[in-house]
Copies of this chain bind each other. A is one copy, B any other.
């Protein structure tokens, strides 16, 4: 009852100011909003810290309900009128709308889960969300989820608070979908987006974006016109499915007379790649679309504008795979499918040795997909490849994944994004595709076919790694701190209107 009433009240309140001419007043309107951003800095930061302090880790089934509830409260506090939990076969999603009575409606994609942590590896505890001094950067909040994705999401929510605080109405209506399984490959996200009410709301959107902190340490921003798809899976070799080897760990002397599931896995894995470590799965490249001329142009430009040495240093590499040039390395990242080992685990993994013949061996893989590969087709090819070579007994357990996505540089969403960056003095670097993945295919694919991407200034790093951070107070004039990142969202929403 409460939820329905607040939705109706929200709609009525918005209706009262809906007749103001938007275009003409936009520039003048924003100053009081900017003032509100500064005034509300502490409360916005506290909101982000509270969020980080609530761990939600899908891979460990940890804090799902608490994280979902907190996110729903944060959305209501930011002015979303309708905020509903959406059941799935896994973690619940969230569907929220904010009807501002505006002519245009924009979609938002949020995630409320984060990656696992090993607290031992962190210099500041991952759930403390402490403010730390970062050399050459300024003050940052450090914690799991700081940049991926709670920090950027919190800047977006702070923009909504500032607009309301200034007594203004939102220039666009919002439709928001959130999931709590992004970090395990969004296995149930299609169930959320496929709900009739959610799909109907998304159909009204011009496009959909996820808040992000797009700035590198040199202040540049890239716009990726799509993302690779992904399959995360575990390959498991056991005596149970193989019919060979021991059903439990036995003394290693038995290797002389008992087969080894670990060797069986190593031999299976070895068939999946070329000596260079590139995919060797039968037919994997059949559907790979060649790099388009348009994309070659973007890559030529990107290779000139992104500093190779800085990237190499931040990644800790001395040379690129296949000894590629910088230009080629950028193309590879955007256009090459991959088969990667995330983890290997078998038998004894502690200090020293342990003379056992393990009964089980597993490899955690991720495969990155480019157009026109699909997750379903690639998984089938992986299984057929293994079966053909005598490894059909090896279980291939897909834990998550989805198809690649693409968005046109000519969409209003992308053009507005570029415009806001340019207004901030930053000429964005366009890339044909991000090397990483996000489940944008549910928006860009059938039946919605929406433009979909990321937006946001500001800076943070070490997603999925220890000491993840999001910059709050910047000492580098080229890099936006928290309040400036919030302003970029205010600007973007008005530009989209």
Contacts and interface: CB of A to CB of B under 8 A. Distances in A.
Given A259-B321, A318-B244, A434-B253, A343 B332 contact: no
Interface in A269-289: 269-270, 273, 275-277
A344 B342 contact: no
A215 interface: no
Interface in A224-247: 228, 230, 232-234, 239, 243-247
A368 B317 contact: no
Given A245-B317, A315-B254, A338-B255, A349 B356 contact: no
A224 B480 CA distance: 74
A12 interface: no
B252 A353 contact: no
A455 to B, nearest CB: 20
A84 interface: no
Contacts of A348: 116, 342-343, 364
A330 B320 CA distance: 50
A338 B250 CA distance: 15
Interface string A313-324: 001111111001
Contacts of A239: 316-318
A263 B269 CA distance: 8
Contacts of A244: 317-319, 321
A389 B35 CA distance: 66
Contacts of A59: 350-354
Contacts of A400: 353
A396 interface: no
Interface size class of chain A, counting residues whose CB lies under 8 Å from the partner chain: 35 or more
A454 interface: no
A422 interface: no
Contacts of A366: 252, 353, 355
How many monomers of this chain does the complex have? 2
A346 interface: yes
28 contacts: A116-B352, A185-B353, A232-B355, A233-B353, A234-B353, A239-B317, A239-B318, A246-B317, A253-B435, A256-B338, A256-B435, A257-B332, A258-B315, A260-B340, A262-B341, A263-B273, A263-B277, A263-B341, A266-B344, A267-B273, A270-B270, A340-B357, A341-B357, A342-B353, A343-B353, A344-B344, A345-B349, A349-B364
Given A243-B318, A344-B346, 19 more contacts: A59-B353, A249-B465, A252-B368, A253-B333, A256-B321, A256-B338, A256-B368, A256-B435, A257-B321, A260-B340, A262-B344, A263-B277, A267-B275, A341-B347, A342-B347, A343-B353, A344-B361, A345-B345, A347-B364
Interface of A: 58-60, 115-116, 184-185, 228, 230, 232-234, 239, 243-260, 262-264, 266-267, 269-270, 273, 275-277, 315-321, 324, 329-330, 332-336, 338-359, 361, 364, 366, 368, 399-400, 434-437, 463-465
